[in-house]
Structure 1
Amino acid sequence: MREIVLDTETTGFEYKQGHRLVEIGCVELVNHMPTGNTYHQYINPERDMPEGAFRVHGLSEEFLRDFPLFKEVAQEFLDFIGDSTLIIHNAGFDEPFLNWELKQHQFPHMDNHIIDTLVMARKKFPGSPANLDALCRRYQVDNSNREKHGALLDSELLAEVYLELIGGRQPGLVLEKEAKASDEIASKERAFREPRPHVASEEELAAHAAFLEKIKDPLWLATEDN
């Protein structure tokens, strides 16, 4: 089972207001485990960088100027994600941005199945902070290198958080241990025991008959008479 943990950085919150993608980061998971295969790309947004966005991710207009345009890397990005499930924190932000950019350059719409870890976290911990930093603290995921947001770094951190949200970084270990325990029980030799006798001895039959003779007006005799 292949999944892609995905994150983006942008010039602002609303593509409808002219904001653009500036970075995409992806981490590949197979059977819920990181493979080491990643996709990372800075993008020239062809516009200025607002001060608020710069404070978040530290990507300046000057830094991004020499990187390719989105239309030049879109196909490579689509090839990397394929039809895999996408793991995104706050998918309501990243997915519309990506699909808008794809649409502007006549690329196919991204219709992958999406798992939103923000929704997962809010359901699992109602009323608690559910941003990536808070979840890293909760699950003791080391985010000490996260001085600013970065699409690839955040995808790597989110991959660890996601695996904790679904039950542990190595969810297969529990099943594997249970299977091994079952095999060990099945492989143990059983000690041989002689079959127990169930037929009453002559002494037991005689003792039982003597006991019955002491009972006055037994019900079973009354039933026989009727």
Structure 2
Amino acid sequence: MKEPMKGNGGFWDAFKGGGVSPRIASMLGAPSAQQIAFVRSLTKGQRRPETLHVPLSELKTAVFDLETTGFHYHYGDEILSFGAVKVEGERVSEEVYYSLAKPACQIPERIIELTGITPEMAQSAPTLLEALREFMAFVDDRVLVAHGSAHDKAFLDVALWKTTKAHLGHRVLDTMMIARKLEPERRISGGLDEWLAVYGIPVTQRHHALEDSKMTARLWIALIDRLREQNVLTLGDLYTFLSKT
């Protein structure tokens, strides 16, 4: 598996090249108290009303996926890896983020087989706070997109609370919910593989946070095109569309 990527271009290139403010640069390499403050600052003010008027074809999003040790955070399951890709309206950017995260719990054998993430890989990974800090800096103030977002959003919110006592303040869109709303006649479970097949999107590598993010990004763009046919043009239109019974 590849080494954790801190993104290509954008924030991380600026950081490495000295193009961010000394305050932010100091926080990224600072003791945990400042790291916590930095992450908390990135969770605030992400639901600006004006975003509702932005056309979906111009909306800046970050499509993300998490791999976890299981499905039950309230029983101690934790995040194993973060993946995200920036999308500029209807164009998938080359800016990506991927990192493992060191869990405090053991990785079940079925998860090792599913994800390819071994205990040895996890032990040498960044801490949850470090990976979370980098992920939040990468997604910045973008609208988040995930497939079956309830799982990912819940784990992300729990991780934020556990490490910084903050809650996720970003808007989160769910490609599974949108696809089901657009095509209610399709009797499918809603899994990513099935919807990728519906829209003719090739499957590259499943259960890898970054690869799943890239495929979900392509699905999101395909959905924007279908939404346009329904005269759903802005983020506000999309919320109204999803709320209809």
Using structure 1 for the length normalisation, give the TM-score: 0.70
Structure 2 CA distance for aligned equivalents of residues 22 and 67 of structure 1: 9
Deviations 1:34-61 (A, max 9, x none): 1211111111112211122223212121
**Secondary structure of 2:164's aligned partner:** coil
CA contact (8 A) 2:100 2:131 kept: no
C-alpha distance in structure 2 between counterparts of 1:138 and 1:74, whole Å? 33
* Higher Rg: 1
CA distance in structure 2 between the partners assigned to 1:123 and 1:31 by the alignment: 21
Q: Quick check: 118-127 or 158-167, which moved more?
A: 118-127
Q: Please, which of 21, 34, 47 is the counterpart of residue 105 of structure 2?
A: 47
CA–CA separation in structure 1 for the residues paired with 2:182 and 2:190? 10
* Offset of residue 30 of structure 1: 1.1
| Corresponding residue number in structure 2 for 1:75 | 133
Cα deviations by residue, 1:151-189 (Å, 9 ceiling, x for unpaired): 000000001111111216xx9xxxxxxxxxxxxxxxxxx
**Unaligned stretches of 5+ residues in structure 2:** 1-58, 230-245
Q: Deviations over 1:103-144 (max 9, x none)?
A: 11115322111111111122122223421111111111111x
Q: In the alignment, which residue of structure 1 is the partner of 2:144?
A: 86
Q: Is the 8 A contact 1:5 1:88 kept in 2?
A: yes
- 1:100-179 to structure 2, matched below 5 A, reads 100-106=158-164, 108-126=166-184, 127-143=187-203, 145-146=204-205, 148-167=206-225
Is 1:99 equivalent to 2:127 in the alignment? Answer: no
Give the whole-Å Cα distance in 2 for the aligned partners of 1:28 and 1:86: 9
**Distance in 2, Cα, partners of 1:154 & 1:72:** 22
Identity %: 28
The alignment partner of 1:135 has SS state of helix
Q: Is the 8 A contact 1:46 1:65 kept in 2?
A: no
The CA distance in 2 between the partners of 1:86 and 1:69, in whole Å, is 23
